[in-house]
């Protein structure tokens, strides 16, 4: 069996990155359609989601372009000793350093948005996100140190040989953070569904919350699997790490977009029903079960929350906040 050297690994990485970049372009276009053309209020949630979508696309585009430049430099333009391996194996080259920066920026944005979503879902309780914030900061610090060491190494060889402690800690931190934060979000939605089961059945929104939980779990699993593969290939010093880690930069954006797209399709028709699950127990006791009846029109169809006297105006920012992700 032929050795999977750094040259073929970089070509495979560019090929796989282009595939996921194409998916990212399509999903980004759909997200912009939702966030811009179908937007009804200029809210903070919309602005955060829009800025995150555009930033992730810009970072992913930069990463693909750098991968192409690196391969062209190695196989087409370089004519010195060592061939393509000499170019691709230069750990501290500016392209490798910037690509590490792209990975860090993309992951930092994605993890922060995941923590923010958890913060909103848990009624903006700061204590709930204490552990996710610590893990997020741990990733930022350790990966920043890894970039600094890489930029000043001036050596030839595998990128994992000198930065192992920092990169390992960073990848483990983001992996644990995603699992913990996603679990907290899912638990919160599940507990609302169990506690308000009768109300949700009355307004036919129960299946929407169940589907939302499935969407969040699937998107988190998509990112988690590739992050775990990155960790395994990195620790085993396998050059497949180049391909997998480059794909993660695209996958973070794709996962973020898919939650907005699928969540919008699931909840847009009956978001008002889901808003009812966000009321506190005090509000529920005050309104009473009999007050839920005005939510139905004479034809038997659910009325909008804004049409119910005394009901708080639904917030579109909450809708987007739920979908803000890694």
Tokens (6 digits) for 134 = 């610590």
Give the residue-averaged pLDDT of 170-189: 93
Query: Is the distance from CB of 160 to CB of 167 less than 8 angstroms?
Result: yes
Supply the pLDDT for residue 157.
53
Residue 294 has pLDDT above 50, yes or no: no
Question: How many other C-beta atoms are found inside a 10 Å radius of the C-beta of residue 299?
Answer: 6
Tokens (6 digits) for 250 = 């695209």
CA dihedral of residues 134, 139, 141, 142 (deg, nearest 10): 130
Please indicate whether residue 93 or residue 57 has the higher confidence score (pLDDT).
57
Supply the pLDDT for residue 14.
94
Mean pLDDT, the chain, rounded, equals 78
Supply the pLDDT for residue 194.
72
Distance CA 254, CA 14 (A): 17
Tell me: the pLDDT tens digits for 129-179? 999 999 999 999 999 999 988 888 765 555 545 578 899 999 999 999 999
Residue 287 has pLDDT above 60, yes or no: no
Give the residue-averaged pLDDT of 233-256: 90
Residues counted in the chain = 326
Nearest to 229 by CA among 179, 164, 161, 175: 175
Residue 295's pLDDT band, with cuts at 50, 70 and 90, is very low
Residue 254 has pLDDT above 90, yes or no: yes
DSSP for 3-48, written as a single string: ---HHHHHHHHHHHHHHHHHHHHHHHHHHHIIIIIT--S--HHHHH
**Between 160-195 and 206-235, two packed helices, what is the crossing angle to 10 degrees?**
170
Residue 314 has pLDDT above 50, yes or no: no
Tell me: the pLDDT tens digits for 109-137? 999 999 998 998 898 899 999 999 999 99
- Domains contained in the chain, CATH given: 6-278+294-323 (1.20.1070.10)
Residue 46's pLDDT band, with cuts at 50, 70 and 90, is confident
Residue 197 has pLDDT above 70, yes or no: no
Nearest to 133 by CA among 188, 168, 177, 186: 177
Distance of CA 41 to the CA centre of its chain: 24
Distance of CA 147 to the CA centre of its chain: 22
Give the residue-averaged pLDDT of 33-53: 80
Supply the pLDDT for residue 149.
87
Residue 140 vs residues 46, 104, 123: alpha-carbon distances, Å: 26, 7, 26
Give the residue-averaged pLDDT of 266-288: 44
Most confident of 101-110, 141-150, 195-204, 214-223: 101-110
Supply the pLDDT for residue 196.
64
Supply the pLDDT for residue 305.
40
User: CB neighbours of 256 closer than 8 A, spacing ≥ 6?
Assistant: 52, 53, 56, 110, 113, 219, 324, 325, 326
Question: How many other C-beta atoms are found inside a 10 Å radius of the C-beta of residue 214?
Answer: 13
Supply the pLDDT for residue 225.
93
Distance CA 273, CA 283 (A): 15
Please indicate whether residue 316 or residue 16 has the higher confidence score (pLDDT).
16
User: CB neighbours of 261 closer than 8 A, spacing ≥ 6?
Assistant: 27, 30, 31, 34
Residue 72's pLDDT band, with cuts at 50, 70 and 90, is very high
Residue 273 has pLDDT above 50, yes or no: no
Tokens (6 digits) for 195 = 């506690």
Supply the pLDDT for residue 80.
82
Supply the pLDDT for residue 202.
53
Distance CA 304, CA 235 (A): 53
Nearest to 135 by CA among 187, 181, 100, 188: 181
DSSP at 77: I
Nearest to 93 by CA among 64, 65, 73, 115: 73
Query: Is the distance from CB of 10 to CB of 74 less than 8 angstroms?
Result: yes
Work out the end-to-end distance of the chain between its first and last CA atoms, rounded to an integer number of angstroms. 38
pTM value > 0.85 = no
The C-alpha R_g of the chain, in whole angstroms, comes to: 23
């Amino acid at each position: 069996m032929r050795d999977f050297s750094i040259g073929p690994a970089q070509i495979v990485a560019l090929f796989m990155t282009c595939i996921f970049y194409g998916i990212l372009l399509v999903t980004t276009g759909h997200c912009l359609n939702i966030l811009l053309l179908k937007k009804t209020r200029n809210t903070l949630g919309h602005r955060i989601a829009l800025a995150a979508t555009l930033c992730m696309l810009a970072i992913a585009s930069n990463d693909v372009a750098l991968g192409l430049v690196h391969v062209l430099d190695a196989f087409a333009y370089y004519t010195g000793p060592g061939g393509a391996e000499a170019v691709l194996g230069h750990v501290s080259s500016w392209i490798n350093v910037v690509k590490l920066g792209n990975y860090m920026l993309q992951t930092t944005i994605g993890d922060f948005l995941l923590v923010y979503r958890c913060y909103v879902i848990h009624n903006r309780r700061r204590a709930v996100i204490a552990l996710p914030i610590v893990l997020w900061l741990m990733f930022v610090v350790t990966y920043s140190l890894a970039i600094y060491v890489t930029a000043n190494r001036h050596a030839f060889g595998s990128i994992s040989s000198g930065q192992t402690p920092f990169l390992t800690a960073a990848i483990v931190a983001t992996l644990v953070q995603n699992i913990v934060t996603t679990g907290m979000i899912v638990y919160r939605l599940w507990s609302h569904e169990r506690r308000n089961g009768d109300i949700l059945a009355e307004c036919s929104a129960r299946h929407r919350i169940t589907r939302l939980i499935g969407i969040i779990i699937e998107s988190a699993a998509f990112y988690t699997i590739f992050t775990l593969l990155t960790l395994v290939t990195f620790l085993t010093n396998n050059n497949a790490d180049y391909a997998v880690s480059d794909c993660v930069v695209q996958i973070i954006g794709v996962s973020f977009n898919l939650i907005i797209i699928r969540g919008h399709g699931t909840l847009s028709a009956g978001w008002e029903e889901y808003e009812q699950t966000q009321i506190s127990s005090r509000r529920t006791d005050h309104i009473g079960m009999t007050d839920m009846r005005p939510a139905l029109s004479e034809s038997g169809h659910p009325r909008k929350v804004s049409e119910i006297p005394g009901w708080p105006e639904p917030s579109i920012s909450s809708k987007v906040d739920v979908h803000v992700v890694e």
